[in-house]
């Protein structure tokens, strides 16, 4: 009888361990999916914001009134919070995600140089380079993320 009890206790322990591991992996998979959705939603928002801002800045360049408008850096708090978890980003998208955010950071750094261009009397050169940089971001990345955003059923930000 004690042998039977012993065998049952072992099976209960094994079953408990299996259920615990299963629960852990299900939780990790759900966390990875949520992280991917959140990053894709932020990418989608940033693409829409850059597109809208580019059209606005183009109009202001044409009107000669860019000096009336401050530049606000493009925020990406989701990616900043998840950069340590870059390993959970889909393998098919991870390089593009990292490259995209690097380019957004480049735009933010370039915005910070605006005052130096103005001080040197090169506002026109800044505006050309700024518009060209935003166009390149859109050209390089709008289509890259479109199918992933659609697949995740993320609403269009544009």
Is 85 a domain residue? yes
Residue 157 domain flag? no
Report the C-alpha gap between 47 and 8 in whole angstroms.
Answer: 58
| Residue 158 covered by a domain | no
141: domain range? Answer: 2-151
What gap in Å lies between CA 39 and CA 13, rounded to an integer? 39
Q: By C-alpha distance, which of 115, 105, 102 is closest to 70? A: 115
Q: What is the model's pLDDT at position 88? A: 78
Assigned domain for 82 exists: yes
pLDDT at position 24? 62
Q: Does 156 reside within a domain?
A: no
The pLDDT value given to residue 15? 72
Mean pLDDT by 10 residues, the chain (158 residues): 62 74 66 82 95 97 94 92 77 91 97 97 97 97 88 68
Q: Whole-model pTM above 0.85? A: no
> Does residue 93 sit within a domain?
yes
| Structural domain total, the chain | 1
**pLDDT at residue number 1:** 47
Given this model, what pLDDT does residue 36 score? 84
The verdict on residue 126 lying in a domain is yes
């Amino acid at each position: 009888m004690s042998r039977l009890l012993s065998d049952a206790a072992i099976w209960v322990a094994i079953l408990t361990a299996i259920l615990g591991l299963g629960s852990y992996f299900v939780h990790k998979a759900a966390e990875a999916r949520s992280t991917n959705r959140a990053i894709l939603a932020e990418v989608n928002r940033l693409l829409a914001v850059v597109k809208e801002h580019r059209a606005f800045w183009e109009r202001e360049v044409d009107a000669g009134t860019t000096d009336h408008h401050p530049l606000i850096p493009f925020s990406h708090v989701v990616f900043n919070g998840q950069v340590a978890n870059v390993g959970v980003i889909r393998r098919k998208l991870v390089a593009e995600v990292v490259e995209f955010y690097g380019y957004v950071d480049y735009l933010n750094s370039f915005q910070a140089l605006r005052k130096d261009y103005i001080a040197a009397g090169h506002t026109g050169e800044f505006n050309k380079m700024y518009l060209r940089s935003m166009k390149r971001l859109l050209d390089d990345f709008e289509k890259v993320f479109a199918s992933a955003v659609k697949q995740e059923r993320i609403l269009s930000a544009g």
